[in-house]
Amino acid sequence: MRTALVTGASSGIGAASASALAAEGFSVCLVARREERLRQVAAAIEQRCGPGRAICCPADVTSEAACRGALEVVMSAWGRIDVLVNNAGFALAGAIEDVALEAARRQFEVNVLAYLAWMKLVGPIMRGQGSGRIINISSVSGLVAFPGLGVYSASKFAVEALSDAARLEYRPWGVRVILIEPGSVATEIWDNSRNAASQGGADWQSSPFRALYEAGWKHAESVIATGLSAQIVARVVVKAAKARRPKARYGVPLEAKIIRALSHLPGCLRDWIVGRMAGG
């Protein structure tokens, strides 16, 4: 029996990935703060895949004790963990000048340190098994930083660095570390981003960067209406989980490949293109 633990599994990419993994024969543990939503996702999985295929572990990923408890539930129930999908996170929107330091610390606590904590928890187990997959959900914002998303981009750049180092560190034990780099996905992250911006100190209506925010909200509305579905990303997560020789990185979809190409351009040209893309 193959098992997977998915963080941020109450909605979006996390929920879609848990469902897709279950459909491919994995037993899944769902981790997120919103217990009611988590149980709804688990119930849907068990209705489709059979009883006992999903475990709910409500937990804040920034609480090491809560995450350790969730992992203990998995090991008690199934005795192993084959796949970790590090997905929980949020996007803090705001110009660098506008973002409160406390909000930036929270961004890194959730998007980076929680990923690191989970890797440290499952690493010894996977090394003992001689196998495992750590799938870290990154972003095209981990390849190129966009104006108005500097702190979020910094957190995803950090995830890229952690993953690159861990991939080499775990190689001798047959543990694979894989990055998924989605483009613009139509999930709750966009609405949450606007809320996070307000809570993070960005009074965008009176900000000197107001034009930047207005372009950003317009882009968010477009993504919600026409963006990539979470199910498409979930299919790539399953591919990474099952591939005999998984890639180090999976860009989803063509947008991610274009952004990766941008990261190799000379700075002045890249800045011009990114500025145009951001509505500048």
Residues noted as catalytic: 152
Which structure tokens are listed for 68?
């350790």
- The DSSP 8-state label assigned to residue 149 in this structure reads B
For residues 2-32, one letter each, b for 16 or more C-beta atoms within 10 angstroms of the residue's C-beta and e for the rest, the string is bbbbbbbbbbbbbbbbbbbbbeeebbbbbbb
Alpha-carbon span 209 to 195, nearest angstrom: 17
Alpha-carbon span 274 to 221, nearest angstrom: 19
Residues 6+ apart with CB under 8 A from 168: none
For residues 170-188, one letter each, b for 16 or more C-beta atoms within 10 angstroms of the residue's C-beta and e for the rest, the string is beebebbbbbbbbbbbbbe
Question: Strand order of the sheet with strand 249-252?
Answer: 54-58, 27-32, 3-7, 83-86, 132-137, 175-182, 249-252
Answer for the pair 117, 31: CB distance below 8 angstroms, yes or no.
Answer: no
Give Cα 258 to chain centroid, integer Å. 20
Neighbour count for residue 159 (Cβ, 10 Å):
22
